Structure 1
Amino acid sequence: MQETSESTEWVLGIDVGGTGSRAALEPAATTSHEADGGARRALDGPPVSITPSGSTALGVVGSLIERARAEWPEARISAVGIGATGLASLVSSPAASLAALREAAGAPVALAIDAVTAHLGALGGRAGAVVAVGTGSIAIGTDLRDVWRRVGGWGHLYDDRGSGAWIGIEGLKAAIQTHDGVTTDAAALLSAAESRFGPAPDWPAQLYTRHDRGSVLAGFAADVAGLASVGDDVSTGIMAEAGALVAATLATALDPALPDPKLAAGTGGVFAAGGAFTSAFEREFARLAPDASLVPAAGGPLDGAVHLARLAATGEVPAGHPPYLWR
């Protein structure tokens, strides 16, 4: 167990996504060293699963709160900020869970969709648009008061353009066409898919029956990105198309009501792929939104969850805006 000071108040940020979840405990009042994560305590948790009754996101959140309190019993938690995937679409009533989460935490709780905490992490509370690209892909343009424009994030079956799951699906589509003899150019992807999932005839059983199918597909995106980085043409094309699609999602989230200069940023694990993805993203965004400023993300979604917790601790959380933010 890490040592904490009984005289220090702490905030807990929780980020729940399709490939994993994380919790971070930080002092409620920060120094510059602490703002850089120097005083952060961290826990990792499981990803969200999708069951016939919906998302397991709030169950994952509850377990992380319990683990954090057990891991750091001396820490006086003054507030909890939570960002989770699927809250707006796959959780029947997020607001109804706030009381139970507050009781478990023993502190005020602010709950948001993952796009909001990604926004807070990337822009630090400034108005603008942010796209978060991990297992899924979602953008939000907001001033955290009056403007709330969501684009994307509707799941891997028919949306999440350019996300890890989308890249994985496109990689498998190319691979199976080469397996069937329709094409001959995706041999490298076919080999990578067979290494990950076994022989192609086994793929339906590997994928269609899983409740965590999105995260499994996103895992294959790492193989696609790896092949693109060594010059595989089909993989490079997939990554470039993904970057362009993500740019379109971000540009669409730049609501005209947002103040000028319009700020925009991208965050999430897929951006680490760099290469064709990043080049296409930057090029297409400049074409679609020439008057906007694409800025580096100041932090990630977990940083945004900690930011949200600090706002909750001081009573500065924006008024609730379901289906984006609950307090």
Structure 2
Amino acid sequence: MTRVLGIDVGGSGSRVAIRLTGAEAGDEFAADGIGVTTGGSTAPARVLALLRCAAQQWPDEIREVAAIGVGTTGMGTLVPQPGELAEELTNELRRLTGRLDVGAAVAIDAVTAHLGALGGRPGAVIALGTGAIAIGGDGRERWHRVDGWGHLLGDRGAGAWIGIRGLEAAMRAYDQVDDSGTALLETAKRRFGEPLTWPSQFYTRHDRAGVLAGFAADVAQLAAAGDPSADAIMALAGQVAARSVVAALQLSPEPVIAATGGIFRAGGTLEAQFLSTVAMLRPDAKVRAPAGNPLDGALLLAHRVAAGEKQTHVPFVWVNR
């Protein structure tokens, strides 16, 4: 049986797993997420560090690993040469295993979310975490991406998107422009302190998206408690997420949709609006519960590399063997 390694990297955290072909479970561990600096994403350094951590965690099993699959946020937009990372991972895996017949694949996080949620089958998936990205296709070689442009340009419906809108409403209440965000203001002050300190807290840090996404949990809690302003934000998040995933369906031979990620698990108004908007836009679409998560998708990607089934498909997947 073939042993593979999967790595799922996001803005808020990372997960690493090692698994035998056909096994439903295996060992795994969690680690910190990545950030974005003036030099770009910290993903390449983080992924290589996680591979080395895996070798320390599983010194015997790592020698049997035939391939590594990686899904990470920003891979297609903030990492200049993803193919070079795939090559570095292959070389490091060769050093760790003492074997030449190993390989690596790195992919945008939407691909691994798709593979995990639909088990490698056709359809469209939206991943709502710190950021948001939707992707549709046949689960093999045809992909159509929507969003995933970061919290300044997109990530519609994601944690950072929700956090920003929550803080905007809080600031309007602070400025006495609109008092509907008063509950959001008080909640934000408990998390971040006085509003006068917020610009220096947010504008100067490389992990800004993750910090903003942390406030999304507060917005969701207020929405569940019946706060109208927070509820409106969660409703809009569900609507815009639905529009993204429906747009991603165009290259899929089957109208199947799944939603994954920590933000979608908030349920409530966000989920209700997501389902109703999908039904309005694509009445023929079937919304299914995810079969697995992005880490499962990274492991499936690794299995395909080990079997010689996966090739580079820019700007979605980069393979090195």
1:104 to 92, 96, 118: 92
Deviation, 1:147, is 2.4
Matched, 1:280 2:246: no
Q: In the alignment, which residue of structure 1 is the partner of 2:97?
A: none
1:60 to 21, 39, 46: 46
Q: In the alignment, which residue of structure 2 is the partner of 1:223?
A: 218
Contact kept? 1:12, 1:25, Cα under 8 Å: yes
C-alpha distance in structure 1 between counterparts of 2:142 and 2:309, whole Å: 17
Q: Which amino acid in 2 is paired with 1:129?
A: A
Matched, 1:268 2:261: yes
Secondary structure of the equivalent of 1:91?
Answer: coil
Structure 1: 4+ residue segments shifted above 2 A: 144-147
Q: In the alignment, which residue of structure 1 is the partner of 2:294?
A: 301
Q: In the alignment, which residue of structure 2 is the partner of 1:86?
A: 74
Deviations 1:250-281 (A, max 9, x none): 000011x421x311111111011100000000
Deviation, 1:47, is 1.1
Contact kept? 1:25, 1:42, Cα under 8 Å: yes
Deviations 1:108-134 (A, max 9, x none): 101110000000000001111111110
Q: May I ask how many residue pairs the two structures share in their alignment?
A: 310
Q: Which amino acid in 2 is paired with 1:132?
A: A
2:190 to 191, 195, 199: 195
Q: In the alignment, which residue of structure 2 is the partner of 1:320?
A: 312
Contact kept? 2:120, 2:140, Cα under 8 Å: no
Secondary structure of the equivalent of 1:298?
Answer: coil
TM-score, length of structure 2 as denominator length: 0.94
Contact kept? 2:85, 2:106, Cα under 8 Å: no
Q: In the alignment, which residue of structure 1 is the partner of 2:252?
A: 258
Deviations 1:126-178 (A, max 9, x none): 11111111000001111144522110000101211000000000000000000
C-alpha distance in structure 2 between counterparts of 1:301 and 1:235, whole Å: 28
Matched ranges for 1:1-327 at <5 A: 9-27=2-20, 29-30=21-22, 34-35=23-24, 37=25, 40-75=26-61, 76-106=64-94, 107-255=102-250, 257-259=251-253, 261-317=254-310, 319-327=311-319
C-alpha distance in structure 2 between counterparts of 1:143 and 1:81, whole Å: 19
Secondary structure of the equivalent of 2:149?
Answer: coil
Q: Which amino acid in 2 is paired with 1:239?
A: M
TM-score, length of structure 1 as denominator length: 0.93
Q: Which amino acid in 2 is paired with 1:321?
A: H
Gapped runs of 5+ residues in structure 2?
95-101
C-alpha distance in structure 2 between counterparts of 1:232 and 1:105, whole Å: 51
Deviations 1:264-315 (A, max 9, x none): 1111110111000000000001111111111111011111111111111211
Secondary structure of the equivalent of 2:205?
Answer: coil
Deviation, 1:92, is 0.6
Q: CA RMSD in A?
A: 1.1
Q: Which amino acid in 1 is paired with 2:138?
A: D
Identity fraction in percent? 49
Q: Aligned pair in 2 of structure 1 residues 24, 146: CA closer, same or farther (>3 Å)? A: closer
C-alpha distance in structure 2 between counterparts of 1:15 and 1:109, whole Å: 14
Secondary structure of the equivalent of 2:180?
Answer: coil
Q: Which amino acid in 2 is paired with 1:191?
A: E
Q: Which amino acid in 1 is paired with 2:161?
A: W
